[in-house]
Structures are given as structure tokens and as C-alpha cells.
Amino acid sequence: MGMLLLGACAPFVYDPDAFRVSVVLSFLSGFGVTLGYHRLLTHRGFKVPKLIEYFFAYCGAHALQRDPIVWVRTHKLHHKHADTQMDPNSPTQGVWLSYLGWFLYNDYVATKVVKLIFIIVKVIQIYE
Ligand SMILES: [Zn+2]
């Protein structure tokens, strides 16, 4: 989500090096959610040393899909109550809620997004 907001400012502050960094960070955050939050922390699909586990969780935290504890709890509820009213990201309640809404509708993300917007505005003011 953060990457999307930063991307909206790209035409005004485009820099090839910054673009490369954003691609790497986007990859790492996606890697952190899919491999770290999902496969490792939720399903315990494989074992790694604790330091690597923390690194995956750290990468996942950059995806702004909340902290690992909340993400794992939400995903376990999703599997336990799949496609019912108790599923926190059920596709039966619409595409928006199932993919993005479940983690966007909370104070934590709202606070992060507001902080990110202030940072973007400051960066734009610096380049002007
Ligand atoms: Zn799963």
C-alpha cells in the first residue's frame, strides 16, 4: 500500500535510482508476506533459524499489512472459517474486502497512511 502511495508521486519526483530501490523494497515486502507471514509464521511450512524468521517478519512488516501477530491471527481465522461471515477476508463479501479492505479498515493502517502522506508532502516540498 505504501508503495502504491509513493508510486502516485512518481511523476513529480522520478529518479531512476529511487525506482530501482522501490522495486527491490516491493519485492522484499511481498516476499516477507508470502514467504514469511504466510508460509513460515502461519502455516509453519518450513523451519529456519530464528534470525532468518525475524528477517522475513521484518520484510513482511514493510508491506503495511499490519504486524505479524495480527496477520497470522487473521489468516488462521480465514482458514478456520473460510467463505463464511466469520472469515475476516472472505471473497463472499466482495473483492475489495477480501484483498485490501480487511487490513485497511483499522486505525493502525490509517495512522501509517497519514504519516506516509506527510512524508510524501515533505519530500515534494524539498524537491520544489
Ligand atoms: Zn494460508
> Ligand 1 mean position to 44 CA, how many Å?
10
Contacts 24+ apart (CB under 8 A), 12-16: 12/124, 12/127, 13/123, 13/124, 13/127
- What residues does each domain of the chain span? 2-127
| Residue recorded with cell 502516485 | 8
pTM of the predicted model as reported, rounded to 2 decimal places: 0.67
> Ligand 1 mean position to 43 CA, how many Å?
7
Digit-coded pLDDT (tens) for 20-56:
998 999 999 999 999 999 999 999 999 999 999 999 9
Digit-coded pLDDT (tens) for 50-59:
999 999 999 9
> Ligand 1 mean position to 7 CA, how many Å?
29
